[in-house]
Structure 1
Amino acid sequence: MQHGDLHWKNSQGPSSSQFGEVYYHSKNGLKDHRAMFLQGNQLPKRWHGQNFVIGETGFGAGLNFLSSWLEWKRNRQNSERLHYISAEQFPLSRADLQAALAPWSELAPFTKQLLKQWPRAWAGFHRMHFEDGITLDLLLGDASEMWQNMNASVDAWYLDGFSPNKNPQIWQGELFQAIANCSHQQTTLASSHFTSSICHQLAEIGFAAKQGTAAGQFCKTTNSDIAEVAANSLTEQPVEQPIIVVGAGLAGCHLARRLAEHGQRVILLEQNSQVALGASGNPAGLLKPLLHLQPSKREIFHNIGYFYSLRRIEQLSQTSDQPIWNPCGIVEQPGKHSDNRLASMLQKRPALNLVAQLIPATANQTNAQASSLIIDQAGICAPAKICHLLIDHPSIELKTGVNVAHLEQHNQFWKLFDQQRLLVGQANNVIFCPGHLHQLPEQFDGLLTRPLQGQVSQIKSNKTISHPAICGKSYIAKIPGTSDQYCIGATFNRGELNTEVDSQQDQQNIAALQQLLPEEYDQLKPELISATSGIRATVPDYTPIAGALKPGLWINTGHGARGLVTAPLVAEILTSQLCNLPYPNDLSSFIDPSRKAARVKRD
């Protein structure tokens, strides 16, 4: 998508070339924004120690978001979380955003954090977590479309954006209907544009001007005195019963951690003796986007997950005393794609240049016969270490050696039993996160997944390869924290359920390495050290299955070989659903267990 074109309009402030209007006025910009939007929604006094949701129609230079964050930090009144959702069709580049926010020194600590997580201009949903209990959902795209897609209950609206005479497309009925759908009885609204047309459209969706206040301040007509109402749409109070998560691979560990971070008590059940002993137990794996010649919903989902995973792994790595992440970039060789196809893909789809650049064959050290892609933000993760780090939380209780074989529903509870019919747990909400569906309770019959066995070999070499992470038809990745150890692989055997390490599969991985690095292989002289073998669940449409099957019974599976990309985003979506937090409907529907590709056909 297109960046906003920023230029400075004399002393008035930063201006948009697209719309010919300033983002804010240099002299009183911050003061004006506080008066219009914070005071216009009677903030901060409405927070009252509650969780709160703010919705905005135009992010612009982020001044409203940062000033709200500053006020929240000063006057949060024991409130847990502020969830800020904002749409933007022309996001500023990181450099322009930094320049636009530079004049406001009191916002500098928050600006620094925002710039660190600021996403590339990839259209869609981008969730960012900050200190002070702040979450920002940045919706990159048309405001009407983005807000129509959100499942949210907004407490206060910042109806902001360029003026109707400069940007008439945004101020249409679709936007106001989306606002109505995401509002509740105590929702308030402040607008920077007080025109008769806007007032009329607000009146049609149930908002009226607040008596005795400045122009541009509105409340729902059913609410007579919002000052006495503590609006609270984030009803994420911990329940007496814990949430049970079954399966301690990447999917289960990411989900357990996000639930715990939202105040839930989690019991994590694992059939093995420790976490990440299955397919999530590899010492190294690649975190990279999905690049297709033609755009698809699958690519959109995976790449939104990729950008979210990048932000998540960066934050996790700062809390780890062990190396779990190396943002070294990844060289992707053509494989089945020809040089011309790689070049054509980047030419026809300019958005892909946000994540990949073509390396000409003459400059490619890994294979002089073909061009490659360099994916600069991608890198190498340590999946097993990540799983152990994720469950290190006081609200997560791990129980190993527990094999859940039977389920029974009793009123609002689900009871879990082992193979001997001994009770191993009960809860209102139970989420199964299996690597595959073999020998699961009968309630999961009908889900269409296929087991995919794979083996990753670990080698040692005194020779340093040309790049720490190279992939094609196979891959090699230097294990984080080591200087001479690599993971290579992986084999793929559909329908195989045997997870014993197989020496023949090691040799297949060695042969694949020789094909991947023909010019470097002789100098590598790889020495096999060990291997990991596991089973992944795959789905015909290569998309996870995640959501509620029955009231209180949930599934989270089908991540295949891309769990490093999809597991964090799916955990975020499920946590939002379980804790009544905002989330995008399209991503939730895309992974829904009831979709056609996820179900076995019945005669």
Structure 2
Amino acid sequence: QVSVLERHDGPAQEASGNPQGVLYLKLSAHGTALSQMILSGFGYTRRWLEHLQRGHDWDACGVLQLAFDDKEGERQAKLATAFDDSLLRQLDRAQAEATAGVALASGGLFYPEGGWVHPPALCQAQLNHPRIRLLGHANVIALRKADGLWQAWDGERLLASAPLVVLAGAADVRHFPACAGLPLKRIRGQITRLPATLASRELRTVVCADGYVAPPRGDEHTLGASFDFHNEDLAPTVAEHQGNLALLDDISADLATRLRTAELDPAQLQGRAAFRCTSPDYLPIVGPLADVEAFNQAYAMLAKDARQVPDVACPWLEGLYVNSGHGSRGLITAPLSGELIGAWASGEPLPLPRAVAEACHPNRFALRRLIRGK
């Protein structure tokens, strides 16, 4: 029996509330842990999406990453040799334009299985389960443990209790002592909603460069997204709408013309802003949590000799887990991370190679601090 405690009145009110998100695969040709995580998560999410209404909740229209400069072109060429062309393939400019349906400045890398997703629909689909109940307006201020159960409190009000808790509140998980030391960073992003025109409906695939633009969902395209490391305000700004329109010009001047952006007043444009949450190594932070002070004492010898393998049991905070740090890849990495926590918690086989699961483990930062003496 699962209770989902949501501080808003319903799910997908923050970064997951955007009208369209992109299944964006930023891969490495070197088989890094992040690349393996993205590949596995992409497959898992794609299978999930098959249960949703195509064209309204998602669309496998493909994703085209433009080779916007020589360095990006070289990176894409390496990827094209490292992966099967059923996952990705290089397109020259003419091929890319034929695929996208609009004129482009360059060719790029095409992911035929990619596309866009309406994130609230995916969130709602995952909540639709007979053993899951959603509690709205449930803002957890404190966690306490009593009689073997974790208790979630909103001031003087007990919201729920259970033997197992997953903290999945992006950067706000740091409000809880067990997560206070996790190096999570909030990055503000703003999207712009552009009314579709008859001519803009020719866009057939998501196109990405420094930003992205998606084919229309209903009567509008989603364009974005800005990166702002300093602004804590969630009110959309005219300056970021202007920045998004500049991103569109870089992606496709033809599409900008089709959307008649020169005639649009940025001050009248609709959009929304939310916070991404990312970690220093760009991997999500997923797994069981340890008592930080006890962890540092138990493994203090690693500060003197990192090659030691101490025969000491980890001082776990029994039943406490975290799932955070998904950055702009949450549609790909977050659903699979839920499966990973289920496997950690129940002792099942992990849904990822163990090395990848350990690369995502929350203890990695405490371990690095001990070894580096910081």
- Spell out the pairing of 1:137-536 with structure 2 (5 A cutoff): 265-314=1-50, 316-317=51-52, 320=53, 323-338=56-71, 340-342=73-75, 344-346=77-79, 348-349=81-82, 351-365=83-97, 366-367=102-103, 369-418=105-154, 420-437=155-172, 440-462=175-197, 463=199, 464-480=201-217, 482=218, 484-526=219-261, 530-536=270-276
Cα shift at 1:346: 4.2
Distance 1:391 1:551 in 2: 25
On the 8 A contact 1:333/1:372 being kept in 2, the answer is: yes
Distance 1:529 1:595, change over 3 A: same
| 1:575 has 2:342 as partner | yes
On the 8 A contact 2:73/2:108 being kept in 1, the answer is: no
Q: Deviations over 1:34-63 (max 9, x none)?
A: xxxxxxxxxxxxxxxxxxxxxxxxxxxxxx
Distance 1:402 1:564 in 2: 24
Distance 1:572 1:468 in 2: 30
Distance 1:423 1:581 in 2: 31
Tell me the amino acid that sits aligned with residue 78 of structure 2. Answer: M
- Spell out the pairing of 1:80-99 with structure 2 (5 A cutoff): none
| Alignment size in residue pairs | 332
* Corresponding residue of 2:364: 595
Tell me the amino acid that sits aligned with residue 160 of structure 2. Answer: G
Distance 2:342 2:45 in 1: 15
Q: Deviations over 1:5-26 (max 9, x none)?
A: xxxxxxxxxxxxxxxxxxxxxx
Gaps of 5+ in 1: 1-264
Distance 2:80 2:120 in 1: 38
* Corresponding residue of 2:294: none
Cα shift at 1:394: 2.0
Tell me the amino acid that sits aligned with residue 436 of structure 1. Answer: A
Question: Aligned to 1:493, what secondary structure does the other structure show?
Answer: coil
Identity of aligned residues (%): 24
Which is bigger in relative contact order (C-alpha 8 A, separation at least 6)? 2
The structure that is helix-richer by fraction is: 2
Distance 1:494 1:541 in 2: 17
Question: Aligned to 2:49, what secondary structure does the other structure show?
Answer: helix
On the 8 A contact 2:64/2:207 being kept in 1, the answer is: yes
Cα shift at 1:536: 1.8
Tell me the amino acid that sits aligned with residue 491 of structure 1. Answer: S
Question: Aligned to 1:531, what secondary structure does the other structure show?
Answer: strand
Distance 1:407 1:532 in 2: 31
Cα shift at 1:486: 0.7
Cα shift at 1:381: 0.7
On the 8 A contact 1:278/1:535 being kept in 2, the answer is: yes
Distance 1:438 1:368 in 2: 42
Greater shift, 494-503 or 547-556, is seen at 494-503
Gaps of 5+ in 2: 290-316
On the 8 A contact 1:289/1:302 being kept in 2, the answer is: yes
Tell me the amino acid that sits aligned with residue 270 of structure 2. Answer: S
| 1:542 has 2:282 as partner | yes
- Spell out the pairing of 1:45-124 with structure 2 (5 A cutoff): none
Distance 2:215 2:203 in 1: 11
Tell me the amino acid that sits aligned with residue 362 of structure 2. Answer: P
Tell me the amino acid that sits aligned with residue 38 of structure 2. Answer: H
Distance 1:398 1:598, change over 3 A: farther
Cα shift at 1:590: 1.9
Q: Deviations over 1:337-394 (max 9, x none)?
A: 5475156314642x25341111112333255542212111111111012212221222
Q: CA RMSD in A?
A: 2.4
Distance 2:170 2:367 in 1: 15
Tell me the amino acid that sits aligned with residue 370 of structure 1. Answer: S
Cα shift at 1:509: 0.9
Question: Aligned to 1:547, what secondary structure does the other structure show?
Answer: strand
* Corresponding residue of 1:157: none
Distance 2:369 2:231 in 1: 20
* Corresponding residue of 2:300: none
Tell me the amino acid that sits aligned with residue 427 of structure 1. Answer: A
Distance 1:543 1:598 in 2: 16
Tell me the amino acid that sits aligned with residue 335 of structure 1. Answer: F
In the superposition, the TM-score normalised over structure 1's length comes to 0.52
Distance 1:336 1:500 in 2: 33
Distance 1:377 1:552, change over 3 A: same
